A = this chain, B = another copy of it.
Amino acid sequence: MRIAEEGSRPTDRRAAPGRGTTVRATRQGDAVCAALTETDAFTSAQDLHALLRAQGTAVGLTTVYRHLQVLVDRGEVDMIRRDDGETVYRRCATEAHHHHLVCRECGRTVEIAGPEIEQWTATVAAAEGFVDVAHTVEIYGTCATCAAAAESTT
Residues of A within 8 A of B (CB): 1-4, 41, 47, 81, 83-87, 101, 103-107, 110, 112, 114, 116-117, 120-121, 124-125, 128-144, 147
30 A-B residue pairs with Cβ-Cβ distance under 8 Å, sorted by A, are A1-B41, A1-B47, A1-B106, A2-B86, A4-B83, A4-B84, A81-B81, A85-B85, A101-B124, A101-B125, A103-B130, A110-B128, A112-B124, A116-B120, A121-B137, A121-B139, A128-B143, A128-B144, A129-B147, A130-B139, A130-B141, A130-B144, A131-B144, A132-B147, A134-B139, A135-B138, A135-B140, A136-B136, A136-B138, A137-B137
Residues of B within 8 A of A2 (CB): 47, 84, 86
B135 contacts A139, C-beta separation under 8 Å: yes
Residues of B within 8 A of A134 (CB): 139-141
Closest 4 CB pairs of A and B: A130-B141, A129-B144, A133-B141, A4-B84
Known: A81-B81, A117-B120, A120-B114. A133 touches B125 (CB 8 A): no
Specify how many copies of this chain sit in the oligomer: 2
Among B83, B128, B144, the residue within 8 A (CB) of A101 is B128
* Chain B: CB-nearest residue to A110: B128
B141 contacts A125, C-beta separation under 8 Å: yes
B128 contacts A124, C-beta separation under 8 Å: no
